[in-house]
Amino acid sequence: MLDYDLLFSYEPFCLSADEKRLLHRQWLADLTYHHQKHCVLYDRLVSHFKSPAELPPALPVRLFKEYDLRSVENQEIARTMTSSGTTGQQVSRIYLDKATSARQSKVLSRIVTSFTGKQRLPMLIIDSRAVVKDRAMFSARGAGILGFSMIGRDVTYALDEEMQLDLDTVERFCSEHEKQPVLLFGFTSIIWLHFCEELKRIKRNIDLSGIMIHGGGWKKLADLAIDNNTFKQAIRDVCGIEGVYNYYGMIEQTGSISMECEYGHLHTSVFSDIDVLDPVTLTSVRGRKGVIRTTSLLPTSYPGHVLLTEDEGEILGEDDCPCGRKGIYFAVYGRIKGAEIRGCSDTYGH
């Protein structure tokens, strides 16, 4: 039961869809038993949700706003993470013990380095250091920054505490790592508003080579009619980075991110999966849009292993992406109508 050494022996994208389904069926059953045994609230909740016979019930993500869902004692909690939310909104609270936190960090690193390579690259974070000051209580944004910063070296923050572009620091980073591959990370609308737009405003381009990874909410950019291709071209224009990759993830399943490949498809790893459901019947659908259900094999300190999101998506295929990665690949189209806006970067500034 829950042999994580065995799970971590798999490469992130090595299993076909059928192999992965067999693995997940047993793991999710074991996790459900674990959480029902250790979380009374979860045990009560799951009895009210219908689910296909082969899967445990999917908890709607907003239940983490309403209930303290944890499968460990208070003294075992090492870190509490909170979802992003606009002013006045309730936030989700996710309780991590040391084992779950370490597991999530390990998986995040393995997924990202399968794209960036094993060598730790100099890293420029398009955000402010102020976001990660409280290590015991993290917002989704702070958790993302901390998690990704462990993958790089010579970590530098591009924005000051007032969220203004620190051009001197950015230019020093460029000079120190001239002609070296670097890694840039940030949240989508923060990169657009505080990096791309500011560099364009002051008519200053910088010269970097390497990879940018970005994620979080797209709502602000959608309102500005900025799509993924426009975003990528803007990054190339202002700083020369050619490899720009989006990712999909949520604080309720930290570490289990889905990375965008070079063909623009989001891929789940061995450690997580998705399905797309009809929003009325909650049955699985292919070839059309629906609500995304996510699964993760990582959380044991809270029952976040099968979740019904508030995001709309579509499964595009499985095992046949031109990039060669196995499993399901998919697209995300944004929040379903009427859902709260809570993306890491969308909520900044509200």
Q: Is residue 219 part of a domain?
A: yes
137-187 pLDDT tens trace: 567 788 889 889 999 999 999 999 999 999 999 999 999 998 899 999 999
Q: Residue 240: give the domain boundaries.
A: 104-248
pTM of the model: 0.89
Decide if 71 is inside a domain.
no
- The CATH number of whichever domain residue 113 belongs to comes to 3.40.50
> pLDDT for 230-243, tens place per residue?
999 999 999 999 99
On whether residue 50 sits in a domain, the answer given is no
Q: Which of 62-66, 70-74, 222-226, 344-348 has the lowest mean pLDDT?
A: 344-348
| 132, 159 contact by CB (below 8 A) | no
Q: What percent of the chain has pLDDT over 90?
A: 72
Please write the tens of the pLDDT for every residue from 248-306: 999 999 999 999 999 999 999 999 999 999 998 889 999 899 999 999 999 999 999 99
Residue at 196 is within a domain: yes
The Cα 278–Cα 292 span in angstroms is 9
223 falls within a domain? yes
Contacts for 260-263: CB closer than 8 Å, 24+ residues apart: 261/321, 261/323, 261/325, 261/329, 262/323, 263/321, 263/322, 263/323
> What integer is the mean pLDDT of 106-112?
95
In a domain, residue 323? The reply is no
Check whether 55 has a pLDDT greater than 90.
no
pLDDT-based confidence at residue 336 (cuts at 50, 70, 90): confident
Bin 2: left if φ > 0, else alpha if -120 < ψ < 50, else beta.
left
Buried b (16+ CB within 10 A) or exposed e, 302-321: bbbbbbbbbbbbbbbebbeb
Q: 199 near 165, Cβ under 8 Å?
A: yes
What CA–CA distance (Å, rounded) separates 112 from 72? Answer: 29
132 within a domain of the structure (yes/no) = yes
Q: For residue 142, what pLDDT is reported?
A: 85
Rg for the chain, CA atoms, rounded: 20
Q: How far apart are CA 27 and CA 24, in angstroms?
A: 5
328 domain-assigned: no
**How many domains, the chain?**
1
Beta-carbon-side half-sphere exposure of residue 100 (alpha carbons within 13 Å): 28
* pLDDT, position 331: 95
